[in-house]
Amino acid sequence: AATHYRKAAELDPQLAEAQLNLAVALQALGKADEAVGSFEQAIRIKPSLAKGYFALKPMRRNSGQATPA
C-alpha cells in the first residue's frame, strides 16, 4: 500500500490525504522516521487535517520530541 500512496503523493504533492495515507502505511511498516516526515508534510499542506496531528503526537512523544501547537 505504501508504494501506491507514495505514487499518489508524487503525482499530486499538494494532496494532504495522500501524504497522510502514506504516513499511516509507513507507520504500519515500522518506518517511523519516514512516517513522521509524511505526517508533517500532510499538516503543512493542510493545517486543518486533525488526523495528522492525532497520529503525529504519540510518535513524537515516544521519540521525546515536542509537538507544536
Average pLDDT of the residues in 6-27: 94
Percent pLDDT > 90 in the chain is: 64
Q: What is the pLDDT of residues 41-68, one digit of tens each?
A: 999 999 999 998 888 888 876 665 554 5
Handedness of CA 10, 2, 43, 63 (dihedral sign): negative
pLDDT, residue 65, reads 58
pLDDT confidence tier of residue 8, bands split at 50, 70 and 90: very high
pLDDT, residue 1, reads 82
